A and B are shown apart, each in its own frame.
Chain A
């Protein structure tokens, strides 16, 4: 293996992040726990009537998963910034956007993937019709990476701050609105028996675009906030 190439740098970063997640595997379950707590609160507040829950199940699930992802975002660069690793990454001779893309992908794998895995369970708790579940899962598979990528740009802007939680939510919200609309739109259309492909395709197109542009924007934002 050759060291110091861009490929080896990305591989080293991915390996490191996976090992770190494994060492703290308890923490990795937190977003899923949080989403479950949010979901549990809705029937308690609205009453257990299955028809009513089924009607709003997809929306609740998406909002819960979006909020859980937003909480997890804070970790994206925080520890790396606090121990000086982020500085080393910025100084590396490789394209920062590719390194950040690797970082974001691992972050998605370790925080959003567990959310998608528990989604069927949560859907069942809210009586989401079985026929809508595949659409929900596809929507989540397209929407959550998009949320991670867009969120990463905002996190990069707030990286030097000690308490950024509320501000981060404020920065992220306008970017998340279209994603939420299309993901929920697909589910609602499927539930109403209408064609649901168009919003999913929009999500896919946005994801393709964000995969290319977001890491670059993230790198630019990081360069502004780290100096």
Chain B
């Protein structure tokens, strides 16, 4: 066994995973909050107003990191889904399923902030832009995974079925994006160019990057917290879980 699989098996053992993440979670939450506040201060206070959009552009400090996270969470879910299906590692099943609701919320925030931004900028809450449409389909994919996971009684079977769907989805995402882009060029007119990242000033860039970092850290804190709870639920019959929840000594009641 090479070091990677060895590491995986160790981290993948439920008691160790529980212990490590329990210790890690508060630190992750704390640092995400701290970095987030610095980023928000930089973005909302220090960064100058845009010469065209004045202060309205500042919503990108929420919108853009969330949009990145909506994709990142899906990739994280798909990678774990793949590991869960191929090597049947329980922790991966749980991690994949824990990241689905978080990714869905990031996607929903992206869509919501996008349309709030769109109203003053484009004069409309919604436009059938390629990115918006893809993001909407991504939300449907997330909701499908969550729905399937909750519809099947047996937790592990549910996780495997939903993981399979997540993998089908990851093939689907680029195809949807391609088709929607193609469709968009066919129906020209309502296309609005979004803010290109290359035009961004460095005084706006560093808060954006900090906030992106904060959302990533927050994502992991949140995934670990969710995964820990579902792991305890799944393993509630085992000694380590009872002693982890009820304190040592409760294991042999």
Contacts and interface: CB of A to CB of B under 8 A. Distances in A.
Contacts of A154: 165
Contact of A164 (B151, B160, B168): B151
B245 interface: no
Residue among B141, B172, B179 with max Cβ neighbours from chain A (10 Å): B179
Given A178-B176, A225-B161, A171 B152 contact: no
Interface of B: 137, 140-141, 143-144, 147-148, 151-152, 157, 160-161, 164-165, 168-169, 172, 175-176, 178-180, 182-183, 186
Given A171-B165, A173-B144, 9 more contacts: A160-B152, A164-B151, A174-B176, A175-B168, A177-B179, A178-B172, A178-B178, A181-B182, A224-B160
Contacts of B175: 178
B148 A157 contact: yes
Interface in A149-186: 153-154, 157-158, 160-161, 164, 167, 170-171, 173-175, 177-178, 181-182, 185
A153 B167 CA distance: 12
Contacts of B151: 158, 161, 164, 167
B143 A182 contact: no
Contacts of B169: 174
21 contacts: A161-B152, A164-B151, A170-B140, A170-B143, A171-B144, A171-B165, A173-B140, A173-B144, A174-B140, A174-B176, A177-B137, A177-B179, A177-B180, A178-B176, A178-B179, A181-B182, A182-B182, A185-B182, A188-B186, A224-B157, A224-B161
Contacts of B141: 174
Contacts of B152: 160-161, 225
A221 interface: yes
A141 interface: no
Contacts of A175: 168, 172
A171 B164 CA distance: 12
Nearest to B140: A174
Nearest to A166: B147
A220 interface: yes
A37 B175 CA distance: 31
User: Which secondary structure dominates where chain B touches chain A?
Assistant: helix
Contacts of A217: 168
A181 B183 contact: yes
A189 B164 contact: no
A175 B179 CA distance: 11
B140 A167 contact: no
A183 to B, nearest CB: 11
A89 to B, nearest CB: 19
**3 shortest A-B CB distances, which residue pairs?**
A178-B179, A181-B179, A181-B183
A88 interface: no
A225 B175 CA distance: 26
* Most chain B beta-carbon neighbours within 10 Å: one of A164, A167, A182: A167
Nearest to B145: A171
B147 A170 contact: yes
Contacts of A174: 137, 140-141, 144, 169, 172, 176
B76 to A, nearest CB: 19
A170 B144 contact: yes
Nearest to A194: B186
B78 to A, nearest CB: 14
Interface string A200-227: 0000000000000000010011001101
Nearest to A220: B164
A167 B148 contact: yes
B182 A224 contact: no
Contacts of B182: 181-182, 185, 199
